[in-house]
Amino acid sequence: MEYIGYFASILIGVALGLIGGGGSILTVPVLVYLFAVEPVLATAYSLFIVGLTSAVGSVGYFKKGLVNIKTAIVFGIPSIIAVFTTRAYIVPAIPKEIISTGSFTLTKDLFLMLLFAVIMVIASYTMIKKDKKNTVDEAGEQKFNYPLILIEGSIVGIITGLVGAGGGFLIIPALVILSKLPMKEAVGTSLIIIAAKSLIGFFGEGGESIIDWQFLFTISAFAIIGIFIGTSLSKKIDGTKLKPAFGWFVLVMGIYIITKELFLK
């Protein structure tokens, strides 16, 4: 299983580099089902892996001038505050057993996996649907809808903190629609936001578990290899055309997780 896990870790980076978002949503299932990492710790590991991989992937966009610093700050601040607060206070406060009725017990691990699966289903919809606004590369006059950006940034931060996904599938459309960024600049800016909030969220951990740094850096290295492959492929392949197919894969994975956690235990 470990070899399959290492290969899957490369695919996480490939997806991030190729389609700009959504790849990180595979990190937790890879850690839980292929490396047998328990769910709460997997969400923490995912933050580090996604954050480091996104940071490395953003370098190329920086060099091309495809990162909007002002937008990253405006969107990133509420998101960073939300993810740090979630990892430091909300996740540790969730009880080990949330609800128990009859033979069914909703544990903390089960709750996080089901929540993650629901997020995967929502993410799959945003990737499958055709959104003409997201494919436009012509920049309009940039203006910030501050209330909406504040709300969406906070929501993305909370989601990231709870399930360990970078939230690129939510950030990129928001940057295009709310901040009027062209698509390529939205992808580069999204990677910076994901890197900052994920890494800060990881270091905001409440200290529930011991971190296996060797394992963490190994998986991150494979994901970073993947993002270089994905970035290289993006020059030859239109990532937007692959996004719907990837979305269907994420949908199947989300349904599988729900089925496995509820009925195949």
Q: What is the DSSP secondary structure assignment for residue 186, as one 8-state letter? A: H
- Checking if the pLDDT of 45 tops 50, the result is yes
- Checking if the pLDDT of 135 tops 80, the result is no
Report whether 39 contacts 79 (CB < 8 A): no
pLDDT digits (tens, 9 = 90+) for 207-222: 556 889 999 999 999 9
pLDDT digits (tens, 9 = 90+) for 159-201: 888 887 777 777 887 787 777 788 778 888 888 988 888 888 8
- Checking if the pLDDT of 116 tops 70, the result is yes
Four-residue CA torsion sign, 120, 114, 96, 28? negative
Give the length of the chain: 265
Predicted TM-score (pTM) of the model is 0.82
Nearest to 76 by CA among 198, 177, 182: 198
- Checking if the pLDDT of 35 tops 90, the result is yes
pLDDT at position 179 is 74
pLDDT at position 143 is 66
Four-residue CA torsion sign, 119, 124, 125, 126? positive
* CA–CA dist 41, 210 (Å, integer): 9
